[in-house]
Copies of this chain bind each other. A is one copy, B any other.
Amino acid sequence: MREAKTKGPGRGLEAEAVIAGLLRGESPICGERRAYQPPLCPALQGVSATRPLDGVADLEVLKVAGEQLPFVSQNRLLEVVPSQGKSLWDTPRNLGVVLSGGPAPGGHNVIAGLFEAAKKAHPENRVLGFLAGPKGIITNRHTEVTAEMVARYKNSGGFHMLGTGRDKIDNAQKMEQCRQTCTALKLSGLVVVGGDDSNTNSAFLAENMRDLGVQVIGIPKTIDGDLQVPGLCQIPFGYHSACLAFATEIGNLNSDCKSDLKYWHFNRLMGRSASHIALEVAFQTHPNVILIGEEIEEKELTIHQVVRLIADVVVARANQGKNYGTILIPEGILEFIHEINALIIKISHIIAVYNREAHEGEAFHHLSFEDQVQLIDNNDIWRDYDSRVFLGLPPELQRGLLLPRDSHGNFQYSLVNTERILLGMVATYLRKQRSKGIYKGTFKTQFHFYGYDGRGTFPTKFDCDYTYNLGHAAFSLLANGATGYMAAIKDLHLPVEEWRPIGIPLAPLMHLEERTGRLELVIQKQKVDLESPAFMILEKEREKWAMEDDYRFPGPIQFQGASAEDKPITLMLNALSS
């Protein structure tokens, strides 16, 4: 078939302009989002002061933290409040800012907030952005943040305004390099945007740069949602946006599987060990099965029992003629299966000790699978029982447990195809049920891993507002002399007008954790609290979700209309139900 009319009228000037617009790197939404000006809570609208906030939380400092961080351990909880006076900083200052760890939606607004607060306080204040993460401080690679940059990146996703990285300032040499950089740049303050490891960095930087007059403030960032301080920091920034991006996809799969009536969708969700993301996505989408690592740990389930959790729903739904559904699997689930976690910890330890003594080309991951297994088998901490558990696992999982650890020595859950491993085990179990005549359904499946795609999303309005206020709060804390704090916003479940910016002392957040085979002082990650209202409500709701198709379709993130006002459902449930 050919089109008979060969040509339309000649391309007009108007058409040319439309075409040029279509080919621009700038999409229509970018301009719209840039035009959005996040509101500030009352305490951050003018000059602010800080005052101690007592009786709100127990902030005990571990003895070892007190020893390693003698100065910043003395910090008390602070609240930022409006002040009638003048800004305490009346001469121009240089401030540094660094983005650290995985990107999280909203990071650019922290910088925007910090920049605009600094410029309002004194037009000659400067904000210097370190490039590609903490390495940028160590090597003094930076760029000056300008009003034009802030305008360009405001309310946008990603960390590409400065780039990010995972370097840790974890030895005396790197600390000295940071001191040199901060001295050379005449910094009065440094804002570190990051997760638990980065905020740990902040505490040590604050302690060690005190004599230089460089104050350090951390910002709670992580899509994983595990950097929380009960009663003070309900949720880190980025979590809401990433959860909604994942929930959009899972909601779409709900719609697809209920239309097509033939697939079980196994969805692994990023989020490290804790199951915060899966919990929020579950409330957003009402899947048929949701695994919560912390619950599996509490109930001491074996991997075969976890497989049953899934398979029993598949069988029950098949009996209703429903051979489709959606399943949420947190990427960190393996850590909570006690028998598997014991293996992970032992293997991580063995790898760390081995790699510490090995030459570069001889690192553990260069060994053959057989040599790796033998090395582990010969180690003193490896018992016969461990071997029995290990050998009873599917080969893919065995290999997964031996994968290289990250630069902090952590097991990299995102590298293991947990959803495929569980699916394989579910399929095996279903075959047995079929041979007994218990299961008569069909079991066609699709895999999905949602992670990087959600991490890079445009931030929701909630995250835009939250991070812009965090940037301002960080400036207020610095201007009022604070160091060794994490900026936070209390009462996020309330309207912005009722938000309360605070400074949380970093030292009491720390505990001892094994990293690369050594006990280190790091900020404690928060797992899903099984006593929390959100989890207890989930326990009740999910029975309905399993059998009925009570699917929820959250749709794509909106920036106008009713759904633009969305906040994390878990945040709201925990705040409103207590």
A-side residues, CB < 8 A to B, are: 1-5, 7-8, 11, 15, 18-19, 22-33, 55-60, 99, 102-103, 132, 156-160, 163-165, 229-231, 245, 248-261, 263, 265, 283-284, 286, 446, 448-449, 452-458, 508-509, 524, 537, 541, 550-563, 565-566, 569, 572-573, 575-578
Contacts and interface: CB of A to CB of B under 8 A. Distances in A.
A231 B559 contact: no
Contacts of A553: 27, 29-30, 156-157, 458
Contact of A3 (B57, B259, B565): B57
A253 B286 contact: no
A381 to B, nearest CB: 31
Nearest to A228: B1
A456 B256 contact: yes
A87 B132 CA distance: 68
Given A29-B561, A458-B553, 16 more contacts: A3-B57, A4-B56, A5-B56, A7-B578, A11-B576, A11-B577, A23-B541, A27-B251, A28-B563, A102-B260, A158-B259, A164-B261, A252-B454, A265-B452, A556-B558, A559-B561
A15 B576 contact: yes
Given A163-B261, A448-B453, A458 B256 contact: no
Contacts of A265: 452
B456 A27 contact: no
A157 B261 contact: no
Contacts of A575: 8
Contacts of A558: 29, 556, 558-560
A166 to B, nearest CB: 9
Given A27-B552, A57-B1, A556-B558, A159 B260 contact: yes
Given A255-B160, A573-B22, A458 B30 contact: no
Closest 4 CB pairs of A and B: A158-B255, A256-B456, A3-B231, A556-B556
5 contacts: A1-B509, A30-B553, A164-B259, A249-B453, A256-B455
A278 B165 CA distance: 31
B1 A551 contact: no
A570 B265 CA distance: 31
A259 B556 contact: no
A18 B5 CA distance: 59
Nearest to A246: B453
Nearest to A22: B569
B229 A1 contact: yes
A564 to B, nearest CB: 9
A28, A253, A453, most chain B CB atoms within 10 A: A453
A77 to B, nearest CB: 10
A263 B164 CA distance: 13
A572 to B, nearest CB: 6
Contact of A60 (B1, B55, B557): B1
A103, A449, A576, most chain B CB atoms within 10 A: A576
Contacts of A159: 259-260
A550 B159 CA distance: 16
Contacts of A254: 456
A260 B563 contact: no
Contacts of A257: 452, 456
A500 to B, nearest CB: 14
Given A261-B165, A263-B452, A556-B558, A256 B103 contact: yes
A225 to B, nearest CB: 16
A132, A250, A252, A446, most chain B CB atoms within 10 A: A252
Nearest to A252: B456
A571 B8 CA distance: 14
B103 A255 contact: yes
A563 B57 contact: no
A456 to B, nearest CB: 3
Contacts of A283: 22-23
B157 A255 contact: yes
A6 to B, nearest CB: 9
Contacts of A160: 255, 258-259
A230 B3 CA distance: 5
A134 to B, nearest CB: 14
Contacts of A563: 27-29, 32
B57 A2 contact: yes
B286 A32 contact: no
A501 to B, nearest CB: 18
Nearest to A551: B25
A250 B275 CA distance: 25
Contacts of A569: 22
Given A23-B541, A553-B29, A559-B561, A259 B456 contact: yes
A62 to B, nearest CB: 11
Contact of A59 (B1, B102, B156): B1
Contacts of A24: 552
A555 B569 CA distance: 22
A3 B566 CA distance: 26
